[in-house]
Amino acid sequence: MDGDLKNYIDGLEDDSWKKLPNNNVIHIYSRVSTKSQEDNTSLKNQKDEGIKKAILDNKTPVLWNEGSASSSGDTFEERPVLEEVFSNIVSDDIK
């Protein structure tokens, strides 16, 4: 299964997921609170666990990686990846 963990679509770089039926896709939003956590294994673990879930459910994983973003006081403008995910929800591309 380890090789399968490299098979995902980067939501920011590749919009091919928009051509897939929504019920065949799992969107994975990952972030950590501090820069030191970003350099740790937390983001990789979030990505890997989301991809494993997608594989188990026979879905295509789409990764949205915010990197480090503080949870206290941040606005959508300070979280551009989350803003992009919500924009896709509003436009009905993500259901």
What's this model's pTM, rounded to 2 decimal places?
0.81
Task: Return the pLDDT at 43.
Answer: 84
DSSP 3-state of 81: helix
Instruction: Report the distance separating Cα 40 and Cα 54, nearest Å.
Output: 23
| pLDDT grade for 41, boundaries at 50, 70 and 90 | confident
| pLDDT grade for 17, boundaries at 50, 70 and 90 | very high
Q: Percent of the chain at pLDDT above 70?
A: 81
Q: What is the mean pLDDT of residues 83-92?
A: 94
Tokens of 61: 């994983």
Q: What is the mean pLDDT of residues 84-92?
A: 94
Q: How many CB atoms lie within 10 A of CB 29?
A: 17
Cβ neighbourhood burial of 64 (10 Å; 0-12, 13-18, 19+): buried
Q: What is the mean pLDDT of residues 16-21?
A: 92
Q: What is the mean pLDDT of residues 29-54?
A: 82
Q: Measuring CA to CA, which residue among 75, 95, 70 is closest to residue 85?
A: 95
Tokens of 3: 């090789």
- Please, which contacts does 38-44 make with residues 24 or more away whose CB atoms are closer than 8 Å? 38/67, 38/68, 43/67
Under a CB-based contact definition with an 8 Å cutoff, are residues 62 and 25 in contact? yes
Task: Return the pLDDT at 1.
Answer: 53
